[in-house]
Amino acid sequence: MKSLPFEKVTIVMGSRSDWATMSNATKPLTELEVPFATVVVSAHRTPQRLVEFASEAHKKGTQVIIAGAGGSAHLPGMIAAMSPLPVIAVPVESRFMTGMDSLLSIVQMPRGVAVATQAVGASGAFNAGLMAAQMLSLSDSDLQQRLIAWREQQSEQVPLSVE
């Protein structure tokens, strides 16, 4: 079996099909030059991989985990239950309830198991990448400067009028 990839930010998804959504998390990370890795870990289909990933990530250099899942969406909560690292959850849109089932599953975490939940879908994944960079910038002044410049650029792109 290939070894699991780990990086400063590790993006985890429950299924390869979640990549269409979760790839959006890589955009701000790439722009801000934050190293990341991606891995597919299913809470239901690969439980041993889940245990290995969640229990090893902090030892392998990961500092923030972004976990996306759809449907019953157990992945972010299970990782948070087994890891001391911050977990940012992204509810992935599902066929049945357009992601509301994923969102409700993720935000119903029991007391003592914290998961920072973002919006459903692509914008939530993008914001998860941005939030991971913000978390890392607390102890990385170079990243913090890149983040400040990135925000200024975002502001400059907003027009003054609609004309």
Q: Which residues are annotated as a binding site?
A: 15, 18, 45
- Residue 93 corresponds to which tokens in the numbers above? 């849109």
The candidate with the shortest Cα–Cα distance to 63, out of 86, 35, 32, 37, is 86
Q: What is each CA distance from 140 to 17, 29, 33, 61, 136, in whole angstroms?
A: 33, 14, 12, 15, 6
Residue 28 CB-density burial (10 A; 0-12 exposed, 13-18 middle, 19+ buried): buried
Output the known binding site for substrate.
Answer: 15, 18, 45
